[in-house]
Amino acid sequence: MSIVICLFYFIVATAAKNAIEDRNKLLERELKMMLGSDISLSDSEMKANEIIMDLKIKELDYAFHHPQTFNLSKHFFDYKDEVEDTELFKLLQQMPKGAVLHAHDTGLLSPDYVLELTYMKDLYVCFQKGQVQFLFSENIPKTPCAVKWQLLSDARLSSSNVEKFDADLRKLFTLVVSNPKEVYSDVNAAWRKFQQYFITTGPLLSYKPVWEQYFYDTLKAFREDNVMYIEIRSVLPELYDLDGNVYDSVETALIYKEVLDRFMEDYPDFYGAKLIYAPFRMVDTKTVKKYIDIAKEIKRLAPDFLAGFDLVGQEDIGAPTKDFLSELEEAKSELDFFFHAGETNWYGTSSDENLLDVIALDTKRIGHAFALIKHPVLLEEVKKRGIALEVNVVSNVVLKLVDDVRNHPLAAFLAQDLPVVLSSDDPGVWEATPLTHDFYVTFLGVASRHADLKMLKKLALNSLYYSTYPNKDKIVHEFEIRWTKFIDNIVKDKW
């Protein structure tokens, strides 16, 4: 009888051992597939990794046992300020982040910055029901106004409460509210407020002196957030000045180039910027042909500044990319494409299938690619063709594609080592940092508990590899120098 019992326990123990070994092998296979698994850490990096992972695990373990406290399962507006005080956030602020490859030019600086612009002289305002218009002018503007134009400085002084006056103005320059789930009940509600921001600020920011200063200060803000290089999308609106001059899209692009050259003289440690001309998609084929001609002219005049072409706007209500396939196919021999696609929750719709169109058009990168996870064939193509995915996690929360970042498709992209680059889209509109918030949310809320310094480094390097910066060896070499300094500071506790 004892022999039978012993044999039984031996079989059970052997089976348990086999199960444990099998489990460990399966986990090891998964970890080897994860983005960053090809990175080898130095001794110093391993020490820094212990510090970083200790901060991460402490936050995750506490949240796992107290899920009601986990900030990142809530709306971004509910925790964005709170997380800035955490040690992990402060550490990630100091981390070299490579490049930002998906950012829209007039949505990058904070509402406080935009509010400060309203103190400039010669700014007129028209308050009318449900809308506010701005315009710089030496005299009362002739542009129609349902009520009356007045100098904003006069309106502010005549208000009974300047602090309240400015607080009300500031609300025009941000999507942040105290009750986001009520105000932004669905995707369209969020997009309406989002688009209204650009409508309201358009005449304010397209005043040539403001346009130039805004771009200069944008480059400065991204540099201060430890970004080395940026590829910026712009609809290139007409600019204006007080002398009655109007500057077309091509001239606007060249003004950007002049500002960049000035910035690079002032801050030679920054590695520059390029432009992606990205006009609105809600147009007809005739207009798209005009867009393409503008892009070609910019490329002719500033070939080193223009990165390529895109179409922007809410995909669910905008014209699908397939409507312009002929025009875009004809242009792709002269222009590189960096298309938005799949920024939708719908499956099998035209907005979802924009992914098919942009891959067929040989896009170099895909903006958002939120719906890509539903397309196994396209996932294979993205990896095979090396098409980078410009993922903007915080943006996807604010614009109602995902409520809980733990359910973001980026988790699957990272698990499969897809060519991901992290970007921030329009961080100023939701009062985020240029890039740190997106790294923090991704590292803590989206990526595996096992994802560590290797993933962070690979995300930063990806942004350089998949950029259009002409000398990859040079910028990667500089990144490695900055990265080594960052690691040394962590190990020496100087961050």
Q: Which residues are catalytic?
A: 343, 368
Find out whether 332 and 308 touch, Cβ atoms under 8 Å.
no
Find out whether 310 and 338 touch, Cβ atoms under 8 Å.
yes
Measured distance between the N- and C-terminal CA atoms of the chain, rounded to whole angstroms: 66
Full DSSP string of 231-285: EEEE--PPEE-TTS-EE-HHHHHHHHHHHHHHHHHH-TTS--EEEEE--BSSS-H
For helices 376-385 and 350-360, the axis angle rounded to 10 degrees is: 30
Find out whether 456 and 450 touch, Cβ atoms under 8 Å.
no
Query: Can you tell me the distance from the alpha carbon of 41 to that of 49, in angstroms, rounded to the nearest whole number?
Result: 9
Task: Give the gyration radius of the chain's Cα atoms.
Answer: 25
Find out whether 98 and 227 touch, Cβ atoms under 8 Å.
yes
Find out whether 434 and 428 touch, Cβ atoms under 8 Å.
no
Which residues does 366 contact at the CB level (< 8 Å), separation at least 6?
339, 340, 341, 342, 355, 358, 359, 372, 382, 387, 388, 389, 390
**What is the CB neighbour count within 10 angstroms for residue 295?**
27
Angle at 289 between CA 285 and CA 294, to 5 degrees: 145
Tell me the residue type at 439.
F
Which residues does 298 contact at the CB level (< 8 Å), separation at least 6?
249, 250, 253, 254, 275, 277, 305, 306
Instruction: Choose among 322, 342, 323: nearest CA to 387.
Output: 342
Angle at 301 between CA 299 and CA 304, to 5 degrees: 60
Length of the chain, in residues: 495
What are the percentages of helix, strand and coil residues in the chain, rounded to 5? 55, 10, 30
Find out whether 272 and 241 touch, Cβ atoms under 8 Å.
no
What does the block give as tokens for 206? 């397209």
Full DSSP string of 274-314: EEEE--BSSS-HHHHHHHHHHHHHHHHH-TTTEEEE--BS-
The 3-state DSSP class for residue 422 equals: strand
